[in-house]
Amino acid sequence: MSQERTEERLTGLPAGDGVAAEAPFYHEDAPQAFQRLWTPHRMVYIGGQNRPTDNTPDQCPFCTGPTRSDEEALIVHRGETSYVIMNLYPYNTGHLLVCPYRHISDWTEATAAEREEIGRLTATAMSVVRSVSHPHGFNLGMNQGEVAGAGIAAHLHQHIVPRWKGDANFMPIIGRTKPVPQLLGEQRDMLASAWTTGAQGPGD
């Protein structure tokens, strides 16, 4: 097989005229399902679609989420004071949020039990994601207030964002598109299954 045909077979892109086709980015050691390209376009959310119209619990997705089924709400795990849910507009594949059930906006408003469980669920979530998709690292954090970047400032939530070497390329910079190569429902099923089968690691 010619070099050009080999490049086309491996990448799905035509090659020739002295231009080599570049293979698409793939999360090393991640499941095959992570091959799909899904582009939710966070700009839709930033532009106002699906955002709460006020700060009340009735409008809060983190308050209404637990009233629905895990599959519908994309909930991975329910704890006593807090729960783990997929981010509907993820920064990266496998982006999770840990939220208290109570409608509070600031870390200082959380009880000792809520802080303990949020921390424990964060650590467990990292172990679960590592067992499922083998990221090279994580971004963890809370944005306190709209000025600090909180999309839902009225309800406290901890971000858990898996990271892989090379996962930030020209797509978000030039194309204004963030590739998330697996459907959220499939991610939820994989993570929830790993959570319940003990993949979270010892002590969790």
Identity of the amino acid at 149: G
- Virtual CA dihedral for 42, 114, 141, 59, nearest 10 degrees? 20
Cα–chain-centroid distance for residue 83?
14
Run of H or E including 163: strand 158-163
Q: Which residues pair with 99 in a beta bridge?
A: 83
End-to-end CA distance of the chain: 52
Q: Name the DSSP letter for residue 16.
A: B
Residues 57 and 63: beta-carbon distance below 8 Å: yes
Residues 72 and 80: beta-carbon distance below 8 Å: no
Residues known to be catalytic: 157
Residue 141, phi then psi, degrees to nearest 5:
170, 165
